[in-house]
Amino acid sequence: MDYVLKLLPHMLEGWKTTLSLFFLTLILCLPLGTIMGIARISKFKPLQWFMEFYVWIFRGTPLLLQLLFVYFGLMTVGIRLERFTAALLAFVLNYAAYLAEIIRSGIQSIDRGQYEAADVLGLTRFQTMTNIILPQVFKRVVPPIGNEVINLVKDSALIYVLAISELLRVAKTAVMRDETFVPFIMAAVFYLFMTAVVQQFFKWVEHKFDYYR
């Protein structure tokens, strides 16, 4: 118990890094992913192709590789990013790709009649998107986005390869140094806590959308 208390401040330090990555990624990739999802079905073909290519690259390669690529790859061409910035960049680009796919399929799941009804009422394409389509898309994408956010909690551990002291790395260092398994258990508790909060939050959001079908 004493050991747990002694280690806790370090773990909390690591947790802070994990949380910053988590929240910054979310804040940045939600709008970005939404825009990309719309661009993915744009009438402007080159944009559509570009987005298809983008999604293919970022969903088709391991996030771990993308992390290394952004940090070391950019370094070889002379761009030196802070390790955390590089990690954040890779995460945002990666998660935006997944979100874009979710938003795209959400948009495409909306009945054509909704566009036609808006059209005959004189709404512009932009007004239709913001007033009619996207609000309905958001309801439908809450569950799949919830899954991605849970993944994000767990994927945040990957940034240990850039030697960033996030939760898992702190735990691993302590395990090696003190020859005890306890830090891993503590890390597990932290992750379980985060995923539980995320799950509850998304349940609440889903419930908020219950007022219509």
Partner 1 sequence: MYMLRALDIYKSFDHLKVLKGVSLTVQRGEVIAIIGPSGSGKSTFLRCLNRLETIDRGTIEIEGEIMVQNGPDGRAVYSGEKEIALIRRKMGMVFQNFNLFPHKSVLENLILAPVIVNRVPREEAEKTALELLRKVGLENKARNYPFELSGGQQQRVAIARALAMNPDIMCFDEPTSALDPELTGEVLKVMQDLAAEHMTMIIVTHEIGFAREVADKVIFMDEGIIVEQGKAKEVIDNPKHERTREFLSKVLRV
What are the start-end ranges of the E strands in the chain? none
- Rounded Cα distance, 29 and 126, in Å: 21
Of 2 and 111, the one with the shorter C-beta distance to partner 1 is 111
User: CB of residue 145 vs partner 1: minimum separation in angstroms?
Assistant: 17
* Tokens coding 36: 């990309």
For partner 1, which residue of 77, 113, 176, 179 counts as binding (CB under 8 A)? 113
| Interactions with partner 1, residue window 118-177 (CB under 8 A) | 119-123, 127, 131-132, 135-136, 139
Of 83 and 139, the one with the shorter C-beta distance to partner 1 is 139
Site string for partner 1, 61-100 (x = CB under 8 A): ----------------------------------------
The residues, any chain, with a CB within 8 Å of residue 105's CB and separated by 6 or more, are: none
- Rounded Cα distance, 76 and 68, in Å: 12
For partner 1, which residue of 23, 42, 116, 196 counts as binding (CB under 8 A)? 116
Of 116 and 178, the one with the shorter C-beta distance to partner 1 is 116
Which pairs from 177-186 meet CB under 8 Å and 24+ separation? Answer: 178/3, 180/3, 182/3, 182/4, 182/7, 183/7, 183/11, 186/4, 186/7, 186/8, 186/11
Of 74 and 123, the one with the shorter C-beta distance to partner 1 is 123
Q: Quote the radius of gyration of the chain (alpha carbons, Å).
A: 21
Stretch of residues binding partner 1 (CB under 8 A), selected from 31-39, 91-99, 107-115, 178-186: 107-115
Residues that bind partner 1 (CB under 8 A): 111, 113-114, 116-117, 119-123, 127, 131-132, 135-136, 139, 211-213
